[in-house]
């Protein structure tokens, strides 16, 4: 007797849940409630509304806070984005700050460890498992507890050392002392490949030390669909989380993914080449992006009380056209100072020629940013753009992207499709 496909899915999800539970159990100590209010309070400002939290060390959280700096001094920055939206560039804008410990996509390891056979976001149960594990890991990383990350890295680190941390070279802190002595902290132009070649395997204990030495932690993620999924993290009284949600015109995201993820978007490429829409085209590759953008941005711009003063909407196109101005706005929102070295990095990475950009890694940041922002208009066929506009109509309107009505209008780059839309973070 053969099992039904539903039974197979249930068994697979049960297996995932068991894996996650095992990881959480083996890497966490029992939790206990904080004692009654006293001179030693749980919250960052003496508040008493602390929820049960995982114990660190011998004492309780109240006696031995796991976070190296108080919330008033430390900002926990979260860049919320989707793939091919310019998130690597935004992450690097934060990575250039001398006092920021930056991590590139640590949730990659959660996904590869927990859902190796199911596509992310396809099943509600799978999504719950992923989000629960992701929130736990982010909470630990913001406290510079990098040991929890070891549970997800495959193969498992040996003696807290690994050469498998995803995109380790994208973080200056992980390519400079005390983690690596091949480069100095003042060297802002270390190429990711050079870091991987010249730095020895990553010592996670030293990485945690580097994290504790800095006053701010910034993490870039593309595996959490909506800002509402982060409520528990934002409301954690031990943290000072501020969310920068990066969005991009869905038409530009589609064009970029077609070039980068060639196998996954093969049918879209067939459509562009033949002019005929394939019958088996995976429409979810587009609709999910627009649905998540709409839901998340609608929440962020409301905003609910828990997100007030902690959310900033950033459009990739605005950043590409005015990188210094928009970076200053982002830094001001985050409470960071912006020095000349950051501006110098921006100039070096937003005025690159086509030849320079082509020579870099496909996930690199050197490019003519202004020209790149709307280059999709020369790459997508009009019928593909028309289809995208129909599927993403309300998202385009919400984000301030103008639809085109003719092929000629699509190709006319002298007329921008990005409407003026200034969003000031709610206080």
Run of H or E residues at 356: helix 354-359
Is residue 279 domain-resident? yes
pLDDT at residue 32, rounded to an integer: 31
C-alpha torsion sign, points 212, 217, 222, 224: positive
- Per-residue 3-state assignment (H helix, E strand, C coil) for 293-311: HHHHHHHHCCCCHHHCCCE
How do residues 250-296 score in pLDDT, each as one tens digit?
A: 999 999 999 999 999 999 999 999 999 999 999 999 999 999 999 99
**Maximum average pLDDT range among 103-117, 331-345, 348-362:** 331-345
Q: Residue 161 above 90 pLDDT?
A: yes
Sheet containing strand 100-104, strands side by side: 100-104, 216-221, 75-80, 241-247, 311-315
Task: Flag the least confident range among 65-79, 102-116, 220-234.
Answer: 65-79
Is residue 403 domain-resident? yes
> Mean of the pLDDT values across residues 71-91?
89
How do residues 21-71 score in pLDDT, each as one tens digit?
A: 545 544 443 323 333 333 333 333 333 333 333 233 333 333 344 555 444
Alpha carbon distances (Å) from 120 to 224, 275, 286 = 10, 30, 14
pLDDT at residue 71, rounded to an integer: 42
Is residue 260 domain-resident? yes
CA 341 to mean position of chain CA atoms: 24
- Per-residue 3-state assignment (H helix, E strand, C coil) for 145-171: CCHHHHCCCCCCCECCEECCCCCHHHC
pLDDT at residue 277, rounded to an integer: 96
Q: How far apart are CA 346 and CA 337, in angstroms?
A: 15
Is residue 173 domain-resident? no
How do residues 302-333 score in pLDDT, each as one tens digit?
A: 999 999 999 999 999 999 999 999 999 999 99
**Maximum average pLDDT range among 124-128, 339-343, 423-427:** 339-343
C-alpha torsion sign, points 138, 140, 143, 148: negative
Is residue 363 domain-resident? yes
pLDDT at residue 123, rounded to an integer: 55
Domain count, the chain: 1
How do residues 99-138 score in pLDDT, each as one tens digit?
A: 999 999 999 999 998 876 444 445 566 777 889 999 999 9
Contact 122, 238 (CB under 8 A): no
Is residue 320 domain-resident? yes
Q: How far apart are CA 292 and CA 294, in angstroms?
A: 5
Instruction: Spell out where 251-370 has E strands.
Output: 311-315
Q: How far apart are CA 343 and CA 349, in angstroms?
A: 10
Find the domain containing 281 and state its range.
247-332+342-422
Which DSSP string do the residues of 111-142 spell out, in sequence order?
Answer: HHHH-SSS-TTSSHHHHHHHHHHHHHHHHHHH
Task: Flag the least confident range among 66-75, 378-387, 413-422.
Answer: 66-75
pLDDT at residue 37, rounded to an integer: 35
> Mean of the pLDDT values across residues 357-368?
50
Exposed/middle/buried for 98, CB within 10 Å: 0-12, 13-18, 19+?
middle
Run of H or E residues at 208: helix 204-213
**What percent of the chain clears pLDDT 70, i.e. is strictly above it?**
74
Q: Residue 238 above 60 pLDDT?
A: yes
Is residue 242 domain-resident? no
Q: How far apart are CA 118 and CA 383, in angstroms?
A: 31
pLDDT at residue 190, rounded to an integer: 81
Comparing CA positions, the residue from 318, 365, 373, 372 lying closest to residue 96 is: 365
Is residue 183 domain-resident? no
Q: Residue 385 above 80 pLDDT?
A: yes
């Amino acid at each position: 007797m053969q099992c039904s496909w539903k039974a197979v899915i249930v068994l697979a999800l049960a297996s995932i849940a068991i894996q996650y539970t095992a990881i959480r159990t083996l890497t966490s100590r029992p939790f206990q409630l904080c004692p009654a209010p006293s001179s030693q309070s749980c919250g960052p400002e003496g508040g008493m509304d602390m929820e049960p939290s995982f114990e660190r060390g011998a004492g309780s959280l109240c006696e031995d806070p796991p976070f190296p700096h108080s919330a008033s001094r430390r900002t926990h920055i979260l860049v919320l984005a989707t793939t091919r939206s310019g998130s690597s560039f935004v992450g690097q804008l934060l990575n250039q700050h001398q006092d920021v410990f930056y991590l590139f996509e640590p949730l990659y390891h959660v996904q590869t460890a927990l859902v190796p056979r199911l596509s992310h976001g396809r099943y509600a149960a799978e999504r719950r498992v992923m989000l629960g594990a992701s929130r736990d890991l982010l909470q630990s990383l913001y406290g510079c507890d990098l040991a929890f990350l070891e549970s997800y890295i495959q193969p498992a680190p040996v003696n807290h050392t690994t050469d498998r941390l995803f995109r380790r070279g994208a973080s200056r802190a992980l390519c400079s002392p005390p983690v690596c002595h091949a480069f100095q902290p003042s060297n802002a132009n270390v190429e990711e490949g050079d870091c991987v070649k010249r730095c020895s395997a990553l010592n996670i204990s030293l990485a945690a030390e580097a994290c504790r030495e800095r006053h701010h932690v910034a993490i870039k993620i593309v595996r959490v669909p909506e800002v509402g999924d982060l409520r528990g993290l934002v409301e954690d009284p031990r943290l000072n989380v501020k969310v920068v949600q990066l969005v991009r015109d869905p038409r530009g995201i589609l064009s970029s993914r077609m070039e980068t993820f060639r196998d996954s978007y093969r049918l879209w490429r067939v459509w562009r080449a033949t002019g005929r829409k394939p019958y088996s085209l995976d429409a979810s590759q587009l609709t999910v992006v627009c649905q998540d953008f709409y839901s998340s941005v609608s929440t962020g711009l409301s905003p609910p009380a828990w997100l007030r003063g902690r959310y900033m909407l950033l459009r990739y196109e605005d950043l590409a056209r005015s990188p210094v101005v928009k970076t200053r706005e982002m830094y001001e929102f985050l409470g960071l100072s912006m020095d000349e070295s950051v501006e110098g990095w921006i100039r070096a990475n937003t005025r690159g020629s086509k030849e320079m950009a082509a020579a870099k890694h496909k996930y690199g940041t050197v490019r003519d940013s202004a020209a790149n922002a709307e280059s999709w208009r020369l790459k997508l066929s009009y019928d593909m753009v028309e289809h995208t506009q129909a599927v993403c109509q309300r998202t385009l309107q919400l984000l301030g992207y103008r639809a085109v009505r003719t092929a000629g209008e699509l190709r006319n780059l002298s007329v921008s499709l990005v409407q003026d839309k200034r969003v000031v973070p709610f206080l």
